[in-house]
Structure 1
Amino acid sequence: MKAIQYTRFGPASDVLTLAEMPTPDPAPGEVLVELTFSGVNPSDVKARSGARPGVTKPPFDQIIPHSDGAGRVVAVGDGVPETRMGQRVWIWNGQWQRPFGTAGTHICLPADQAVQLPEPISLETGAILGIPGLTAAHAVFGGGDIAGQTLLIQGGAGTVGLLAVQLAKWGGAKVIATARGKGLAAAENAGADVVLNYSDPDLAQHILAANDGAPVFRIIEVEFGRNVGTDAEVIAPNGTIAAYGSAQDMAPTLPFGPLLFKAATIDILLIYLLPPDQRAVAIKHLHDALLAGALTCPIARTFPLAETAAAHEAVEAGARSGAILVEVQA
């Protein structure tokens, strides 16, 4: 098999190399997936660059990066039904706490981490469902039914944000999204009822005005540290801030008083650690929305395997209009 690998932290162009490796055999309970696409996420590039706090060297001697991907099952280990052979699947947690992820032509992993992809959903879409898709689905529906409620989606033009906007509308919520520049139109096109500029100094007042003066039921938050002050102003009593990111301020100061007197719940999401029952619910929401035609997964650009470093650089550059994929068989 061919794979992109690294053995040390550093810039993508310095440490990512194309290698020939033996194609693995599935262990008991595993499947071997011949991959077509690998999804590149911010967490992948941070892991490769050594940007995670307190981590000074890679956790394994050799790492094939990326947690998301899609392809077909081509072999099964003992205990896995033969009926899984040939299934189109998408991958979650491909490289989470494991050395070998999806940036290669093949991957072996536990059978439940290769989810059958419904027809006629494309493999490109499947490669986006692991981190962005599950994050969006759990952030939107993790507190239960949202029909008739108002959701605020901070960062509604990012990959997770655009998926969250669509899922929230499909779930019957009123959606207020924040974005900037070209992202304003992207969030509106995704179905948001109101889109506001997140750099507006009067953002909280505009959010409340967009909801007829009422506070919002649930907030999907991409930059918790930067936005928690605004969130505290606009969250409804007993509402929830579902935060999946805080890259610009990893050690925020909380406005405890306003949050206290709203009895607000801060729900910090790390999709890698989602319990099996909650993951199953999120997967069902994704599949149902896709089959209903209510969810489109935007793709900004696809790179061939040999140009995975450029794919990492595209993620690091930001300001994308969708996901970055690697076509691993190319």
Structure 2
Amino acid sequence: MKAALYRRTGPAAEVLSVEDVDVPDPGPGEVRVRITASGINPTDWKTRAGLTGQDPETFQIPHQDGVGVVDAVGDDVDPSLAGQRVWTFLSAFGNRWGTAAEYSVVPATRVRPLPGDAPDELGACLGVPAVTAAHCLLVGGSGGPGALRGRDVLVAGGAGAVGHYAIELAKHAGARVVTTVSSEEKGELARAAGADLVVNYREPGVVERVQGFTDHVDRVVEVALGANLELDLAVAGAGTVIAVYANEPEDPVIPTRRFMVANAAIHYVLLYGVPAEQLQTAVSWTAEAAGAGALSPLPVTRYGLDDVVAAHEAVENGAVGKVVLVP
């Protein structure tokens, strides 16, 4: 099969290559997926660049997320999975067979059925972004998605991949959603996802506009804690949970006393370290929402497998929407 891979970490143009490798066989508890689209996340290029300190032992086929059809199952796997169309998540986590290839072998626990009428673009967009969004909306709370009904949610960066799904999942759960964006173009994306109020954070009066929508949010899905602390605290109160899923070049200084007075909490979210039970809860909610037609694909830019370097560089340079590799 053809696969994009790297044997050492570094710049995309220096370490990524497309090669012929043997089609892997699924082992016990695993399935093999014929990949029809592979989604690229920021953590994919950061791992390939060496920013996470993970050098491959032999070679690594990157990308955590993908969509395709199960074409073989290993021992101890339900044989009825064969032939099912599925989306994958955390495919390259502790596994050399990521989705940037014609076939990927993953634990059966890391695939979920994709509704028959859902496009490949949606399946490739789920995984890390949608499951991260789901966990951010649930972490530190109780009662599951139902607890969000009638609540107010603030989503920072509503046009980003995690922000997009945070809006859609929160609306699916019955919450009201306000989101911040940096441009009118991104504002249109956030409105299309269902946000009740979209605020351009580059314009004056951001805090006042959000406070006009609500003076107390129950949940913040946060992409830039340091930059957004003043806004988050302005609408935080007893029980507010701020779920932070991304870091910044400089670690922010946390005003502990203000958080104590507000009785608000910060939870940090990195999907790869989420406890198994909580991860499965987030995955199950994502799968349910996808099955209900509540989730939509991001705007997609497609690259062929041979253009994997350009695809990685596009994500590294902040491409809007989702970059997808088509084997």
User: Structure 1 residue 129 and structure 2 residue 153: aligned?
Assistant: no
Q: Give CA deviations for 1:219-278 in whole Å, capped at 9, x if unaligned.
A: 0001123222331222121210011112343x2210111111112111111122333332
Task: Give the Cα–Cα distance (whole angstroms) in 2 for the partners of residues 152 and 81 of structure 1.
Answer: 41
User: Structure 1 residue 17 and structure 2 residue 14: aligned?
Assistant: no
SS of the equivalent of 2:186 reads helix
Task: Give the Cα–Cα distance (whole angstroms) in 2 for the partners of residues 273 and 118 of structure 1.
Answer: 28
Provide TM-score, normalisation by structure 1. 0.92
Q: Give CA deviations for 1:99-121 in whole Å, capped at 9, x if unaligned.
A: 23111111112111122223222
Match of 2:173 in 1: 171
Q: How far off its partner does 1:200 sit?
A: 4.0
Q: Give CA deviations for 1:158-216 in whole Å, capped at 9, x if unaligned.
A: 111111112211211111100011212221222111111223454323321222xx221
Tell me which of 72, 77, 81 is aligned to 2:78.
81
Q: How many residues align?
A: 321
Match of 1:103 in 2: 100
Task: Give the Cα–Cα distance (whole angstroms) in 1 for the partners of residues 20 and 260 of structure 2.
Answer: 56
Contact persistence 2:8–2:56 (CA under 8 A)? no
Task: Give the Cα–Cα distance (whole angstroms) in 2 for the partners of residues 86 and 293 of structure 1.
Answer: 22
Match of 1:183 in 2: 186
Match of 1:120 in 2: 117
Match of 1:194 in 2: 197
Task: Give the Cα–Cα distance (whole angstroms) in 2 for the partners of residues 82 and 176 of structure 1.
Answer: 44
Match of 2:216 in 1: 215
Give unpaired runs (5+ residues) of structure 1. Answer: none
Does 16-25 or 59-68 show the bigger shift? 59-68
After TM superposition, the structure 1 = structure 2 runs for residues 1-330 of structure 1, keeping only pairs within 5 Å, are: 1-52=1-52, 55=53, 58-142=55-139, 143=141, 144=144, 145-181=147-183, 182-200=185-203, 202-211=205-214, 214-249=215-250, 251-320=251-320, 322-328=321-327
| CA distance 1:110–1:288, shift in 2 (3 Å) | closer
Q: How far off its partner does 1:153 sit?
A: 0.3
Does 161-170 or 291-300 show the bigger shift? 291-300
Q: How far off its partner does 1:98 sit?
A: 2.3
Give unpaired runs (5+ residues) of structure 2. Answer: none
Q: How far off its partner does 1:283 sit?
A: 2.7
Aligned-residue Cα RMSD (Å) equals 1.7
Task: Give the Cα–Cα distance (whole angstroms) in 2 for the partners of residues 315 and 187 of structure 1.
Answer: 20
SS of the equivalent of 2:131 reads helix
| CA distance 1:167–1:158, shift in 2 (3 Å) | same
Q: How high is the sequence identity, in percent, across the aligned residues? A: 39
SS of the equivalent of 1:294 reads coil
Q: Following superposition, which runs of at least 4 residues in structure 1 exceed 4 angstroms of deviation? A: none
Task: Give the Cα–Cα distance (whole angstroms) in 2 for the partners of residues 194 and 124 of structure 1.
Answer: 26
Task: Give the Cα–Cα distance (whole angstroms) in 2 for the partners of residues 131 and 171 of structure 1.
Answer: 20
Task: Give the Cα–Cα distance (whole angstroms) in 2 for the partners of residues 105 and 89 of structure 1.
Answer: 15
Task: Give the Cα–Cα distance (whole angstroms) in 1 for the partners of residues 193 and 172 of structure 2.
Answer: 11
SS of the equivalent of 2:262 reads coil
Task: Give the Cα–Cα distance (whole angstroms) in 1 for the partners of residues 305 and 245 of structure 2.
Answer: 29
Provide TM-score, normalisation by structure 2. 0.92
Task: Give the Cα–Cα distance (whole angstroms) in 2 for the partners of residues 8 and 2 of structure 1.
Answer: 19
Read off the aligned partner of 1:300 and give its amino acid letter: V
| CA distance 1:291–1:97, shift in 2 (3 Å) | closer
Does 42-51 or 194-203 show the bigger shift? 194-203
Read off the aligned partner of 2:326 and give its amino acid letter: E
Task: Give the Cα–Cα distance (whole angstroms) in 2 for the partners of residues 90 and 287 of structure 1.
Answer: 9
